[in-house]
Amino acid sequence: MSAPVIAPSLGSANWPSANTGLCGLIGHPVRHSLSPRLHQAAYRALGVDWAYLAFDVAPASLAAAVEGAGALGLVGLSVTMPHKDAAARLATRRSPTVRRLGTANTLTFSGRQISAESTDGDGLIADLRTSVSFEPSGKVCAVIGAGGAARAAVVALAEAGAREVLVVNRTPARAVQAATLASGRGRVAKADELQEAELIVNATPVGMLADAGRASGADEVMVDPSRFGAGQLVVDMVYDPPVTDWLSQAAASGARTRNGLGMLVHQAARQVEIWTGSQAPLTEMWRAVGRRPSPRSWHIAAAPPAPPTAP
């Protein structure tokens, strides 16, 4: 496979051109997404002649959108809610992680092949370790939710050595399925049991929906954040708004808090490595979202795979 084409200067009269490769994000909604900033900053730093766009795709149109992306020669697609489970099913090749989770946030196109990967779990662990110096090994950790991002978090925390992974979800059957992914370290828990957890990860969109005034009865808070306190790290995967009401309540009760921006940056970095075959430029990616990079650089892939051929 050939290396990506070196890009002319962004903004020049020669860019984009007929040689410019295209990557993108599919989700519903996507208008809030920072992924285009992150990826474009990475491509610019690597000198790759690629562009990255966000596409709002309704669930009923997902299969057609993925098929069209392959037909148009896109390099890859990032996948966000509500499409992660369906994206895994549409792929022709699935990584071991995707086969285990049944969900994917990364699609890579090569000819007629669509390869699926999940980078959410790697992104969560990378951010915990580099940004807040939290090591899951030996800790009791909890995940709220049982969707694609939640399942990725359960597996990642178990693989990082968590002593126990508690799963809280409104639907008991889905909670059992998620907890089972923790390889004997997971169990279904009730909300009042999370006081024993050192890490609580909210993997539901309730914070974003509630702050936007779009929460429905099914999106009501499953866990009261005011019950958390000192000695606990509370993470909300939502990054827009930067501080959800849910996270604010946890902080007011004395818990240490973290939003989902760092996870977003690190999972995007892993996608960049998958698609380009180069180490992701984390410093430039952090700057693209208006943050200083962590003083501890930690790259997920020491030896990334060979890059796909740019269209």
Return the active site residues.
84
Name the residue among 192, 156, 200, 212 with its Cα closest to residue 29: 212
Q: CA–CA separation, 305 vs 276, rounded Å? A: 8
Decide: 28 and 82 in contact? Cβ < 8 Å: yes
Q: Dihedral angle at the C-alpha atoms of 291, 36, 75, 267, nearest 10 degrees?
A: 40
DSSP H helices in the chain: 35-46, 62-71, 84-90, 96-101, 120-131, 148-159, 172-180, 206-211, 245-252, 261-276, 282-288
Decide: 30 and 55 in contact? Cβ < 8 Å: yes
Extract the tokens encoding 287.
């700057």
Extract the tokens encoding 273.
């490595």
Mapping DSSP to helix (H, G, I), strand (E, B) and coil, where does residue 114 land? strand
Amino acid code (one letter) for 66: V
